[in-house]
């Protein structure tokens, strides 16, 4: 037995990282049209800090895969992320929560209609 090492596997559970940023959106350029966006995708009008969610936290919160998130973003049905650096992005928590609330609101009337 001496001289033989047994490698143990360790499974680490990583908590999603949350970042808090202050966002001022009162100076939005006129060239960016928000008229056609759903209400949940309208820019913030306050200077309150917002939490930025990285992809693992977004996936856990909404329950869909990375591929589905990016597909829905390209379709315009999921909030787009903000750039945090050259190779990192994050989603504003209030936009993800609003999207999720919209999904819940859309699914509840359909579920109630089927039960009757």
- Which tens digits make up the pLDDT trace of 25-73? 444 445 555 555 555 555 555 556 689 999 999 999 999 999 999 999 9
- Mean pLDDT value across residues 81-106: 95
Nearest by Cα to 19 from 91, 109, 98, 114: 91
Is the pLDDT at 7 greater than 90? The verdict is no
Q: Please tell me the predicted confidence (pLDDT) of residue 50.
A: 82
- Mean pLDDT value across residues 74-82: 96
C-alpha separations of 95 from 4, 21, 101 in Å: 54, 14, 10
Reduced to 3 DSSP states, what percent helix, strand and coil does the chain have, rounded to the nearest 5? 40, 15, 45
Q: Please tell me the predicted confidence (pLDDT) of residue 113.
A: 57
Domain ranges of the chain: 18-25+40-115
């Amino acid at each position: 037995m001496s001289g033989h090492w047994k490698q143990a596997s360790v499974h680490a559970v990583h908590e999603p990282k949350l970042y808090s940023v202050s966002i001022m959106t009162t100076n939005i350029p006129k060239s960016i049209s928000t008229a056609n966006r759903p209400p949940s995708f309208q820019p913030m009008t306050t200077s309150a800090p917002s939490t930025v969610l990285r992809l693992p936290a977004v996936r856990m919160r909404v329950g869909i895969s990375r591929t589905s998130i990016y597909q829905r973003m390209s379709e315009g049905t999921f909030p787009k992320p903000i750039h945090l650096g050259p190779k990192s992005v994050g989603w504003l928590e209030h936009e993800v929560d609003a999207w999720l609330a919209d999904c819940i609101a859309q699914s509840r009337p359909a579920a109630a209609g089927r039960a009757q």
